[in-house]
Amino acid sequence: MIEHLSTETTSVVVDVRRGIPVVLHWGARIDEIPETWSRPPVPYGAIQFVEPISIVPMHGDGFMGRPGFQAHRRGGRHWSPRFVYESHSLTETDEGSTLVCHAVDEIAELRIETHIILTHDSVLKVQSTVENFGDSPLMLDAFTVSLPLPSHAEELGVFAGRWIREFDLQRFAWPYGAWTSENRLGRTSHEHPPYIWSMQTGAGEWNGDVWGVHAAWSGNHVVYAEKLPDGRRYIQSGELFHAGEMCVYAGETFSTTEVIGVYSPRGFTPASWGFHNESRRRAPRQNLSPRPVHLNTWEAVYFNHDVNKLKELANRAADVGIERFVLDDGWFGGRRNDRTGLGDWWVSGDVYPDGLKPLIDHVTDLGMQFGIWIEPEMVNPDSDLLRAHPDWALATDGYDSVLGRHQLVLDLSRHEAFDHVLTHLDALLTNHDISYVKWDMNRWHVQGSNADGKAGTHDQTVAMYALLDALRERHPDVEFESCASGGGRIDHEMLRRVERVWTSDSNDALERQFIQRGASMVIPPEVMGSHIGPSRSHTTGRRHTMAFRGVTALFGHLGVEADITQCDDVEIAQLAQLIDIYQGYRDLLHGGDTVRFNTFAISAGTSLAHGVYSRDRTEALLAYCQLSSATSLTPPTWRIPDLIPDRHYRVDIVPTDPSGSVLVVGPASRQPDWVGRAQKGEPLSYSGEFLATVGLPAPIMWPESAVLVHLSCS
């Protein structure tokens, strides 16, 4: 029995005869399914058949790769189950095609139910659930989803990274054997976020078969890509368990993380739209108001919360068009530095003797929303909370706890700890006019045992979801942001619960060009927090112009994170101009399709180009960014594909300075024609076919500068 799920561009062909489904084909659409799907040859020196790679491959069936299901009962029994077909169904819903398959092992007393969804826009979603219908517990060591890929998926692309250098794409030939990354930090992580790409050799932003796979989970995870000795290959992904962490008791069920797959025959950029569309579907609220411009106080005042200074900052923010004022760390308990106070979620009487209301009233009277920073999962040893309840830390009895950032993790799986935090945060949001919460998480899970003494990361992750869900239910008009030392918790399960993620603690515009380019492969711009930082970056020490910082930050959810009370009149005018540009193009930026371009010497980081197209392709806002000195004296060619071939597009340069100047070098006569004419207010127009096939010579620019280009159909 073979089932075919298809869209205009994609086919997923599934063999359901074995109970646990086998994906025979995931890729380009095929219109005819043969009566007999040809099986691979049986190699010499092996067993007498080739076990297919199922969604949950089993060792007991003869699969010699990494099993997707590893479990046992007491004494090691039933460690290698074999499931058989029980039933299946294929239905069409508003979301797309849904295939549900049931498999059973009567000897091991287990049942596995697998859901495969192919949405109308070609996003593949897979999740399996095991049911223990026996009378004894099942210790679960691994339970993941595997997706086979064709032999021409010859390369892998993975995001490496670290704090202030997130989403650094590494691309390499798929090695013989296995490549794997395992994350045990208790959050999605900077270092190994659970996204992986595979592609044919030579695939680029606009060409070639590209597949992306993501395990939508905010805790520990594993990503595993194997090329078997017979040449077959697959990607396996899901939650990673510590030893003894997961047990499925009699009569209970447990599900894998949902694994999301995207595919495009036209390169990375169209494949990215699948992840973006799925993010938008998962958003906790649809049809949000335009994403307001933030001012975050962290890099303006740090822990120095002086009410008069904050009011002055709010005044200046309102003057330049900022729409939301977010009070960062330092407002609560004894929190005067990073060593104290976490867990004491009440307004500090030392810093705010009259409470937060006077500051909030000042901000809202200026027409801005008020937001606030919290870190509910963390606790300082030097806090009233931990002094009163030392056993509430997620730690292992008998050992000295390993501190990170002078803090420990608060065990939210303890009902009393959960209720304590929920009560205080509920009161904070109930008693104040707060419309936005920045939810941070700054410490890894290290030897984190719960009250039972077992590994607690899974339960902690589930409890974190429950706490956030409870606050959203009680305060449905409050928006939330996910932050974890910057971009340490960005995944599609978190995106069910938050309207925004903090992409990185780095506001260095040069670093952000690379960070945001990587992040744009998996999340849409409206959830990508991007701030205009101070002229001198506090993470790198580099200095950048306001225009370069602004153009970089425009292509996300724009904010400002600097002491703008110290800006001179020229800088304030520039900032106001950039905010006005963002507000003018906000609907396009947050409602269109993100695009990235293959630009000259991109591998060397010489230049980058990116932007957003309107869905109907009648308009675009693009940035060409010169990052370092080019090796060539003449500009490279910037090809701009996927516009309407027979429509003509007017090419304007958007001034990012009130004077009307643009960041190009030399007189108009030394620039490419389209730049020179635009500088003189005489923009040219070109057909979509010309822009895609021939393209435009890039402008001549200083390193670490950018030009903003608007295309509109004539």
Indicate which residues carry an active-site annotation.
440, 505
Q: Which residues contact 692 (CB under 8 A, 6 or more apart)?
A: 639, 640, 641, 642, 643, 645
The sign of the torsion formed by the CA atoms of 693, 694, 698, 699 equals negative
Backbone angles phi, psi at 449, to 5 degrees: -100, 145
Strands 69-72 and 138-143: antiparallel
> At residue 104, what is the residue type?
V
Among 522, 490, 521, 649, smallest CA distance to 596 is for 521
Q: What is the DSSP string of 315-342?
A: HHHHHTT--EEEE-S-SBTT-SSTTB-T
Between the alpha carbon of residue 471 and those of residues 56, 171, 478, 618, the distances in Å are 36, 40, 9, 41
**What secondary structure letter does DSSP report for 412?**
T
Among 468, 292, 299, 305, smallest CA distance to 369 is for 292
- In DSSP terms, which residues pair with 398 in a beta bridge? none
Q: How far apart are the first and last CA of the chain?
A: 53
Instruction: Judge whether 209 and 199 are in contact, CB under 8 Å.
Output: yes
> At residue 5, what is the residue type?
L
Instruction: Judge whether 253 and 266 are in contact, CB under 8 Å.
Output: no
Reduced to 3 states, what is the DSSP secondary structure of residue 33?
coil
Reduced to 3 states, what is the DSSP secondary structure of residue 681?
coil
For residues 67 and 53, what is the distance between their CA atoms, to the nearest angstrom? 10
Task: Note the Cα 325 to chain centre separation in Å.
Answer: 24
For residues 388 and 399, what is the distance between their CA atoms, to the nearest angstrom? 19
If DSSP states are collapsed to H, E and C, what string results for 230-255? Answer: CCCEEEEEEECCCCCCEEECCCCEEE
Backbone angles phi, psi at 25, to 5 degrees: -155, 130
